[in-house]
A and B are shown apart, each in its own frame.
Chain A
């Protein structure tokens, strides 16, 4: 019998067996003589556990609804006959429950004996992982014998060697499934408790698993009796987490044993910001276990967060600083001291030679708030200018501008829990199933409970139709027509009188509303006119508008399909208008929710990464705000806005911008119009890349500073719901310094007197200078887990929902949103529209996920093209095709699908050899310069192989990655 070893430093969580009841009414009962008070609707099992009495269980776990199949959790209730299951029996007032008696002990032992007869543990006694609840329960019920033998037809006999995979004569035996790179499935160990099947349905919402067969034939199978990898399984791992035996088990645990210590930390992938226990053994991460107390994910995760951490120890990681004179030279490994001193000297030389504003920095949306704060401080206090920007420039800068203008603050209005109260969800230009999977699971759960769904997307995404989910309205609009369609929804709401007059009169400026209403009511905004230019059936627009306005709590969730357009900021305003007009702001279940791409893109914006504002979204021209920092930092601050990333590159090409410190961002791959980016970088004299890997930007770098992963440092990330979550160090930095320490070294080298010894001191400085963070400290976060800003005197524990009693700016502002067609138009040379996006298993430019087994799901970027357009061009599925725009051309393989409409093609940008951004243009959002990634006029044709650009780029990249002391890396 394998018993869970006692590791005192492993964070343990209590499993209450069944979900929490939300009822208000309290009920008091007695369990084994203890008086326990719980909300009505709580199960006896949960009530007992809350009172400190653990009832043995196998099929129950508090992530799932109770099921009542294992018959181990039986109890006796005074005055009732029989032995009901405690997981399915709700508590009653005055109920007297016994969880232990001779009768119950005998029943439980009998049940466990039967289970054991069909459940030979592992290969042998020693091979068990210690992770199995089954073994613990068998021990706790005092099982000592098995009179039935273990010769069940679905596993081989112990004396035959019990070596699954080595052949067996047992007719129902199924070999162990090793196809998933991260976990194994051994059907012989399945006890048919259905926890995996229910986790896949209830928690994840994929419905990939089922129970097949009867008696000895019964067990869980994936898909249509397929290998996991071939099934529709998305490898979220919820089933592995749910499995009470070792039937489903992480390969790392099987290979290396159970972890010994853990810390609660925050995922470094998307903006959902899931909490995990990073579980470690011998300085190696064994597994990432979703943390049930995590307010964003409540114990769930996706394939990236749970499994794709292997990049942290990938052989490509660079662990020594490196410098070189010219980008055509090989890299030379140097000490940190030399690299830092060289960088400081170069930056000073460049400022002397080209002027104060000739250098700048880019903060990372992947690093912590504290690290981001330090980079902008370095630029402002040390470089004495405001040339600092962050990759939010290329994703959510229009959100900042649009919501700032209309509501007065740049942030999503809700927490993720709010979705549980939503009646109508509107998804615009986002595909959460791929890009924000854990939120998507929660949304899908709500949809299965009956909430309605409206999707605005050029593609028929997984959100539009998947297992037990179907959008009530899908508006497949032509890329670039967001503003027209959203204004048309407003047209219907205004002209049909569906707006919430009481809300508008109370919370908004009525005169501004009237002006806006007269604008949206114009005939050119009617669905009938807009339908023609957007390609959407006018009846769909009308239906969607009526549903959103009158269907109960309406919540809008949007992504980069909204922001990455010439009219990105206008679209955000149009969304804000819709929510105000229908009164869908300021309570649970409603709101405007930008789905943030990167783990800390919200935080990097909050921390003053933009060239025009100090932390907390305060414009640099404000004297009172500058005073706060000037007195603390001891220098005068420049009161003029600095350069944004695209402006920096323009200035570099023009010769007035010569040096840059880039922390954790790969602008060459992620920014549009690759050739222009390359031209800008090549024109600079000192490009410093601070990263885990020699990324694409590093091809143009003169200094490389090795970065640290989120496992190697302390700090905080802020997710899409403004939630500040702790990041905790579980491993020492592999390259000596955590990123904040490296920035501090650089600051000292240019003469700044920085003496931070722990990131908590940086957060203290942020709290001291930023009103919306006034109450935030590591001590508070350690105590309460997480908080959502604003967190200050008025809201000491943070603000889950914003604008409750009024908008941050005072009155909500309606703004006219006139549709202006983008200059990027199709024509005879470029007749198709390209739009771009993500898939589930890969993350952003793929630097991390490409260095994990996630490549098993997505090893290349493909071009999705409609069968009609493919046939016109003589293309077959899988053919190499040439994709050309006015910016450049590349080649990739075609994927023929009607998910895209005729006239639209789609690709992802996870792989550098595809270089989708060679194609994208230099057009950008009018207000923020956020690039127009989502609309590019292209032509597609048959191809013989890589384009000239791909060949030249590949050669240049290989050359520039040479490291002198090691000879050619990669």
Chain B
């Protein structure tokens, strides 16, 4: 377990790679279809904390494919964990309330 420690990929690196992989598939489609396709895919399959992290990465200018950047306007910004709890008729869990303070 020695030679590969420098190769552990962080979650944020993975998110960038995943988004760019999605964009790579949609590049062969028309521009409109590509932008809609990337956004729809991420909306459909990425859990809110992943999308939350995605927007943080986007804001920090991480190395996203330009098609991802173009699609980002159509990617749903998740509501806060506390809002999500409330939407389900639950009193926000303490941890969710705390996380939503940020």
Contacts and interface: CB of A to CB of B under 8 A. Distances in A.
A927 B18 CA distance: 8
Contacts, number: 108
A569 B37 CA distance: 14
A651 B49 contact: yes
B47 A650 contact: no
Contact of B4 (A569, A888, A929, A952): A888
A926 B50 contact: no
Interface in B4-26: 4, 7-9, 11, 14, 17-18, 21-22, 24-25
14 contacts: A352-B93, A353-B94, A358-B95, A387-B47, A519-B28, A635-B88, A640-B48, A643-B49, A656-B49, A886-B4, A887-B7, A922-B9, A926-B24, A929-B18
A540 to B, nearest CB: 25
A636 interface: yes
Contacts of A519: 28
Contact of B84 (A356, A621, A635, A641): A356
A569 B25 CA distance: 10
Nearest to A648: B47
A706 interface: no
B95 A353 contact: yes
Nearest to B96: A355
A929 B27 CA distance: 19
A355 B81 contact: yes
B102 interface: no
Nearest to A929: B18
Nearest to B41: A927
A858 interface: no
A962 interface: no
B25 A384 contact: no
B7 A640 contact: no
Closest 9 CB pairs of A and B: A926-B21, A818-B28, A355-B95, A650-B11, A636-B88, A355-B96, A816-B28, A643-B47, A820-B24
B95 to A, nearest CB: 4
Nearest to A611: B47
Interface string A591-620: 000000000000000000001100000010
Contact of A886 (B7, B22, B89, B95): B7
A927 B25 contact: yes
B13 to A, nearest CB: 10
B25 A640 contact: no
Interface string B40-64: 0100111111100000000000000
Nearest to B89: A636
Given A355-B81, A636-B87, 16 more contacts: A356-B90, A384-B90, A519-B28, A612-B44, A612-B45, A621-B44, A636-B88, A640-B78, A640-B84, A643-B47, A643-B50, A650-B11, A656-B49, A816-B29, A889-B3, A927-B25
Interface residues of A, number: 56
A307 B75 CA distance: 53
Interface residues of B, number: 39
Interface of A: 351-358, 384, 386-387, 519, 566-567, 569-570, 611-612, 619, 621, 635-638, 640-644, 647, 650-651, 653-654, 656, 675-676, 816-818, 820, 823, 884, 886-889, 922, 924, 926-929, 948-949, 952
A928 B8 CA distance: 21
A29 to B, nearest CB: 63
A658 to B, nearest CB: 10
A873 B13 CA distance: 35
Contact of A570 (B11, B25, B99): B25
B101 interface: no
Contact of B85 (A356, A643, A818): A356
A356 B41 contact: no
A910 B31 CA distance: 45
Nearest to A819: B28
A355 B99 contact: yes
Contacts of B4: 886-888
A928 B41 CA distance: 10
B85 A566 contact: no
Nearest to B99: A355
